[in-house]
Structure 1
Amino acid sequence: PNPTRHPPFGQRPLPQEKIDYAVVAMDYVATVFAGAAAIRAIYSVVRSQNKSTEVEIRITPTKGRVLSISSSVVYGYVGNKASTFPMQVMGFDVDPINSVQLSNHTGYKNFKGEKLEGKKLEELYIGLEQLNLDSTYTHIMTGYLGKESFGDEVASLLLKIKKKNPSVTFICDPVLGDDGKLYVPECFVSLYRDKLIPHAALVTPNQSEAEWLSDIK
């Protein structure tokens, strides 16, 4: 970071002798710090200058609300497990729905877990709808979708949300495979190409996925 624009946090005097709350702007955190170490560093500085005061750090998202539909693992960082915290650090409120819940990435020899059926996604959406949350999303992001029924329900959910909020931004990672090998059912190619990508503001395929979706090599 530019030291002129962002002087080291610990070297700047705090604006008042005693602080009850340290409200940290998300833009500042995202620019100067990274990850959980940022929160610990800020807490340490504030606490050291206010030894008699309990300090609470509140992070207030201001940039929008993301519905993130992707995979998740217990061990490791892929899908929602990898993307949720960075988006929160950037100032977004994130509501993750896990298409699969696995013990670890499938690149390992062994893994356990389950894939969510489309019916379960429908139930989750109904719950959000009953709280009027479905109309609050500024962004929808999809990654690995797992089962065919789940993918079909994602397409249905997307249309419902866009009907309520036409300005919602849809970001689609068409997770199909890599190195010329599919690791989802072949029907997902047409699902992405015909039902999801036409509504996307941003699509992020790798080379193999771009070839399958465009039918151009």
Structure 2
Amino acid sequence: MKGILSIQSHVVYGHAGNSSAVFPLQRMGYEVWPIHTVQFSNHTQYQQGWTGRAFEAKDITDLVAGMAAIGQLENCEAILSGYQGSAEQCLAIKDTVEKVKAANPAALYVCDPVMGAPDKGCIVAPGIAEHLINTLMPMADIIVPNQFELSQFAQMEINSLEDAVTACKAALEKGPKIVLVKHLHSISSEKFSMMLATQEGCWLAQRPHLEFDKQPVGVGDLISALFTGQLLTTNQPEQAFEHCNDACYAVLRTTSSLGEWELQTIAAQDEIVAPATNFSITAL
């Protein structure tokens, strides 16, 4: 059977990393093969803290070797990578992508280059950002950075829509075929903004901001999964982009309506496949 290899963090309670990405992809009809880079009791924004640990890079390579031994790497349609717990894990991702593409040259590599956020700066362990910028993002078919991560890759500040377009074009010149900016915080204070860039052009997607007492975690992981699944289904980047914006809004709207801050992906599962609200994307 064909599947998607998802190499990300995992939380036991709630939805972040693989806990945010796996079920939506399954609900969209895909087999998902998760490998966890870390396993925590809950995401790290709880004041009470969390328990758990990061896994060694060798754990990733061992598991991938096991998949290769049973002849399944050739059935991998996409590799989706997210949060990495060490620089060595980044190198294990590189090795994994090379092995999968050797077995199946048509497989896509989708890199969600988790480095940080605009209000926190770079929040990952030493060496990770450098490996993402210099190794994983250039070899990816698709990158899904936020504004901060795009600015690091494109090596420029982003303060306007025009800056974002320029940065996306610079990113495309470095190797990726598709850039999906999962959050452009400088574009609008009234709407949540995302951007898609391919060699054919750039598109802007926006949706209403929703009010939360505490901001949900794992939204970027959800966006990456939704786009990956819909792109594999349609092979139409713009259609996949619009769908992922609509479906992500549906999950967040359900989360808000239930008074939660953990993403309510189970409660919103039907709209992961068929969102009730559509926000048309705009060609730039």
- Normalising by the residue count of structure 2, what TM-score does the alignment of the two structures yield? 0.52
Pairwise CA distance, 1:186: 4.1
Give 5+ residue unaligned stretches, structure 2: 158-284
Q: Which amino acid aligns with 1:146?
A: G
Work out which of the residue numbers 46, 50, 61 in structure 2 matches 1:122: 61
Q: Deviations over 1:22-81 (max 9, x none)?
A: xxxxxxxxxxxxxxxxxxxxxxxxxxxxxxxxxxxxxxx8xx510000011011100111
Work out which of the residue numbers 152, 161, 173 in structure 1 matches 2:91: 152
How many pairs does the alignment contain? 155
Partner of 2:125: 185
Q: Deviations over 1:136-172 (max 9, x none)?
A: 1011101101111111111111111111211101111
Work out which of the residue numbers 61, 67, 83 in structure 1 matches 2:21: 83
What pairs up with 1:66-77 in 2 under 5 angstroms? 66-77=4-15
Q: Deviations over 1:94-149 (max 9, x none)?
A: 00001110011011231111101111111111111111111110111011011111
Q: Which amino acid aligns with 2:99?
A: K
Work out which of the residue numbers 184, 193, 199 in structure 1 matches 2:139: 199
- Normalising by the residue count of structure 1, what TM-score does the alignment of the two structures yield? 0.68
Q: Which amino acid aligns with 1:170?
A: Y
Is this contact kept in 2: 1:189–1:213, CA < 8 A? no
Pairwise CA distance, 1:189: 2.2
What pairs up with 1:1-217 in 2 under 5 angstroms? 64-109=2-47, 110-179=49-118, 180-217=120-157
**Separation in structure 2 between the aligned mates of residue 202 and residue 126 of structure 1, nearest angstrom:** 24
Q: Which 4+ runs in 1 deviate beyond 4 A?
A: none
Q: Deviations over 1:169-197 (max 9, x none)?
A: 11110000002511112422221122212
SS of the residue aligned with 1:141?
strand
Is this contact kept in 2: 1:70–1:98, CA < 8 A? yes
Is this contact kept in 1: 2:111–2:142, CA < 8 A? yes
State which drifts further: 145-154 or 66-75.
145-154
SS of the residue aligned with 1:132?
coil
**Separation in structure 1 between the aligned mates of residue 91 and residue 31 of structure 2, nearest angstrom:** 25
